[in-house]
A and B are shown apart, each in its own frame.
Chain A
Amino acid sequence: MCGIAGILRLQPRLCCEVSLLSEMLRLIRHRGPDEAGLYLSDDFSMGTVRLSILGGDGGQQPICDEEARYYLSYNGEVYNYIELRKELKSLGYRFLTDSDTEVVLQSWRAWGRDCLSRFNGAFAFALYDCQEKALYLARDRYGKRPLYYLWHKGDVFFSSEMKSFLAIEDYSFEFDLSQLASILTLWTPLTHQSSFKGIEQVSQGCCTKISSEGLTKSRYHQLNFQSRYSISCESEAVEAVNDMLREAVKLRLRSDVEIGVYLSGGLDSSILSAILADKVGQNFKSYSVAFEDDEFDESSDQQTMVTHIGSHHRTVKISNRSITDNFPEAAFHAEVPVFRTAFVPMYLLSKAVSDDGIKVVLTGEGADEVFLGYNIFKETLMRSKWNILSDEEKLDRLSQLYPYLKHYNETSKSDLLGLYQQFSTDRYPGLFSHELRIQNGLFSKRLLKESAEPLVAIQELIGEQPNFSSLSQIEKAQWLEFNTLLQGYLLSSQGDRMSLSHSVENRCPYLDPNIVELSSEINLKFDDGRDEKYLLRKAFEKVLPSKIASKRKYPYRAPDSKAFVSEQPDYLEHLLSEAELRKMDILNSKFCCSLTNKIMKSSPDKISTKENQTFIFLLSLCLQHQFFVKKRLPSDYGNRAIDDILIRKIDTRAQVIGLPR
């Protein structure tokens, strides 16, 4: 795992690239504290900070090919690199190292952009073609690793994290109202959004080419629910899930360093832990967060699994105070507005993992999206059949939805019928499954002063999906989850950004492309979707304690506004005073003040989910305004310069090698 950053100069100018690039890398040094390397040429420069996991010294970066045509800075892992190297060798390509970085470079030489669809991994990279004078920026299928770029005064800057752009002295971050309207309404940024003007992210499954001729984007992967698998009966499906997940874990154990696992106490991470125990015995470490507040705590199930697998286990106990103390720095690392505090415990957990000397963890992200674990899928199934279900059937299904939300339990079911009646038909084309979520999001959008249209961006993205209209309502719901919450929060703000803030790489076996493709063939083929993750559960019920195998979905959550009401951290008044809110010209300060007053003066059980979310959005926006727009970094943030880890510097600038430009 690494951080990468660079500059493509399209406007001739005199500048001191080394110091600027070094500063950009310093700001993301947490992603790769082991080594740093630079490549400098007259038009282009880039660098890598490396977390050394695979290939030892052979993985040093940036690297180039024998002809010095291509230079590569690479973040991530291609787990099938051994198989690819074998194939490339058979084609005559020679290798000097054992690293996957060189496999990526040689794959590009062999297959060009088509190499991307061969990679099974989590990656983002920058590749510069000196012959073509073109920069290629690419990301993995599901958006596990980040890569942002910025056009500024005719030049292009890129980095794994936007905080690198703080190094550019004459660049000022500015919130983008239309992006924010979309983000607040859909809960997360879309795959290309950053929340700031001028900054874009390379979309998941895409490759962007930038040169003096301009920018072109090409997509190499689209979630289209087509499958090369053909499964004819349930037992065959169960066996395939079991075999394929075990293989996905096996691939993700390729590492020169020890691998741990995040154990939430739910089905998905318990399965990973059981597979890991089967493969490596009891000699591995597992990590959990526990909460002082019983409403969020799953310690009992975690302990059941630890006893079952015999791992060396460590728990990080989360209090309201630990959430409010660490929210600012975690929000700095998240970089984009967030709607929950649940990313803060993950920030603290990765610190504990890092303190133990562990660099890689397996995590359960993706299982709910792939195998229909979320209640939104059950809800979509119910609402899409609303007009043909009897009232009794509707009430039966409603009783299984969102059991962890208090107002669903305390409400007469006939009142809920009235609510869902509102959402039984399509209001926003293509977004049927997510209309209740959008309803909550529209409330959050009221934080903004101006009313930008919030659904244009998602509908444009849908328009790029060739077969979207022919997908089932459940497939559309999956597609939306992959393109919103999964990539925009779970894999990023709560995933990569929190892990890498403490130099820990997270690996997600459920997002192996083979498993995603298998799920397209078997989901809802042998069950009706009401018993969530039915086939996954069946596939592993024999290796789990029965309590875990039968456990229903319990979403990972953390105390939100009530933590701030109870702890009243010093920064709250400074950020949310009426005077401060008025200074942020993007905000509707009157609404923000009303919301803040209500949150701070009401009993937490009188605060709704949407108000909670909107308050957390507001708080993160205010903090990110301080960090990025005002360039006031968190007081605890102190990445050192990269000089002490700089082990590679490739300098081909004319002035250095004595040639005229």
Chain B
Amino acid sequence: MAWHHRIANVFRSRKISRDLDDELAFHIAERTDELVAKGMSERDARREAARLFGSYTLQKEETGDMDIARALEAFVGDLKYGVRQLRLNPGFATVAVLSLALGIGANSGIFQLINALRLKGLPVARPAELVAIEKGPDFFQSGWFEARNPAYTYAQIERITEQQKAFIGVSAFGTAGFNLSKGGEAVYAEALFVTPNFLDVLGVKPVLGGWLTPETDPRDCSGAGALLDYNFWQRQYGGDLSVVGREISLNGRSFPILGVTPASFAGVETGRRFEVAVPVCADGIFSGNGQGRLTNKTAWWLTPIARLKPEWTVDRADAHMREISPVIFRETQPESYRADGIEKYLNNKLTAVPAGAGVSSLRERYEGPLLILLVSTGLVLLIACANLANLLLARASVREREMALRQAVGASSRRVVAQLMSESLLLAGIGAAFGAWLAYLLGRGLVLFLRGGGEQLEVPLGLDWRVVGFTAALALATCLLFGLAPALRATRTAPADAMWGGRGSASSAERNGLRRALVVAQIWLSLVLLVGALLFGQSLRNLMSTDTGIVTEGVLAAGVNSGLLDLGMERQREVYRRLEERFNALPGVVSAATVSNTPFGGNSWNESAHADDDAAATGGKNVWLNRVGPGYFRTMGTPLLAGRDFGAQDSPKAPKTAIVNQEMAEEFFGGADPVGRTFRTEAYAGSEDPVYQIVGLVTDTKYGSLREEQRAIAFLPWQEEAEMKNMNFVIRSQGGMGDVMTGVKGALAEIDPALLVEFDVLDVQVQRTVLRERLMATLSGGFGFLAALLSALGLYGVMSYMVARRRNEIGVRMALGAQPSDVRRLVFGEAGRLVLVGLAIGLASSFALTRYAESLLYGLQPNDLKTLALGCGLLAATAFVATSLPVRRATKLDPATVLRDE
């Protein structure tokens, strides 16, 4: 009975019961008449008539098999029967549960991450009211950037706060790392600069102590203090309740601890957890001039997050932000911008977007890859379902008689389908349960993978209703996918046919057609996955074999910070020079040099520049700059092609000099020898453009990542830089890096124990820039392998079944003189047809689909023919191996035995 009938019957039960009563009463009345006519007394006749019916009430129940309670009872019975069936077939059950668990687990695992990055609301009051302010198209900005998220200058935040009417409050935060240690190896805490109203706008209350009132003037630092994250408080202070009022040292400055935030609150950046927060005014305390970035109109460092007024929507707020943009930018013009820059700056627009799930740079980087992975896992699950459907169809032919018998003794086809479906549901349920466990492991594994690769990642992966709902929906969908067709098929066979003898029955040809179609679909989907995996794998290989122009192996990067010492400019330079000497003298060290931006370290610096005396020109070409010391190119293994390296003569007083790379020589001087020529960079409005004389030419090197197009780079001598609290050293050594690190720490302690150091291995830094590609290559490779394996299993199953079914035919052929090669041709031919059709559809789909992954590829086109051919070849080979076994079985058939069996 259809489920809607059953549900409707619950409400109609009284009418049904009355109809039934009437119908049976009629029968009894007629029978009584008949008996009376035969001479029985009225009373006896009535009793006899009722007796013939068996128990009258029992009868009613049996006919009225129509309410939910009975349906449930039947369902429980079916489940029990299903459990028994699975116990009888442990092999089948294991394969089914395993493939479902893998499929569902992979899907849920990826979904968990998407959920955490994208869907989950921040654990704050009414997250749907939160709005982030983003930059419109062609946003012009220039200056000093220090933020992971879309950031603004303090002046802009002030104007936004003042001009807007859409929000209850606008708060802002900037990201930073504060050193907690007082010397030696630096220990950094994930830190935030926040406006006084930050907690208030978010609706978060400290669990311990307090925080500034939202009305506090953000520039007033008299009440400044630190706000601790709950986890940090637990870890660093053991959850000590008397922590409020104690001092904490951040970058060598002391702050009183004001409060602790609740455990559920990690900040507003998805995937990150802050540890310490200080008011924005504290930036002045850390800076040399006491003002910091608060007064700097070209320092972009604060990310706003605002809460809508009750009657406002995001769309309305968006229109409002665009409307007030001109005022905001007019009132915050930086004096240092040139005229053309100002013009673009005034055209900037602000937009408002929902921020209920927090703001995140991770999301942008990983959203695309995760969606592609989710689609891949979906395909793997489909392939697994096809396998199960195949297995169930094979089993259905074995159970044909059982089903026929059930129908013959009066089970309706619906009851048979229901019973088979509850078996499928049982499988899907067990699969989903194991899958949930696998998803947990996969989710954690992914987080560890990303973290191990240097990505800061704190995501709450716990189960919420979305993950549970997703997994349950998957289980149900898979159950329908793999269970329904075989179940419907099972009821088609006419009982008498099945009793007659299963083999050769009319329906099996059709059923085999379905099984073949399933195998074709598996090959098709596998090819798509395999091509994807190969594309990502090759992209990674291309990236890894990219010529960086640097010999990265064996180079240690040591970042030295003298921020805790108030050294003058002269003293600072002297300290760095002495350190460089000491590092060069360390045992095992081949060469050491200074550099302001370590390659692949994440920092960059670019300017607009002009070749030679092109003084009148505006809007120059982009050039990337870096400051390096003598010996840098030797240390990095970058050949000097012409001219000289920097030396002692490139002092602050000498004329400005530069060493450029081939790309710059090409872009600025048309490939001519640049040594001896000059270029100038655009200075701020009102000051004179600096002119640099080129003294050397080096081979091209990568600046920040393996993926980047070759950039024009000019290296300047580091001695010219005014004040440098941070100085990076690159140290090439032979032998253990551990020894070098110990040596470096020793040298630092000797010169001044308050010097801080941070180590990084250049090779690891390079790897970090391809983390996303590595993730894609590894996971899609895994899924592609799984898909191919499942398809091979499917093909094997169908071919084995085909050989078993055509045993007689093959036997007869062999008896009539067919050679094993003929038999081989027969079976391989059949498999080959399926594989070819699958590959053809797969190729077409790959052509259509791979372009969605284009932005993630490197060094090859999405429709790379070699990759497509390789994918086809791999699948064909797998299919060949999967078919070989059934082929062997077919050629080993003994005609005599086969014919005797018949």
| Genuine A/B complex | no
List residues of chain B with CB under 8 Å of any chain A CB. Answer: none
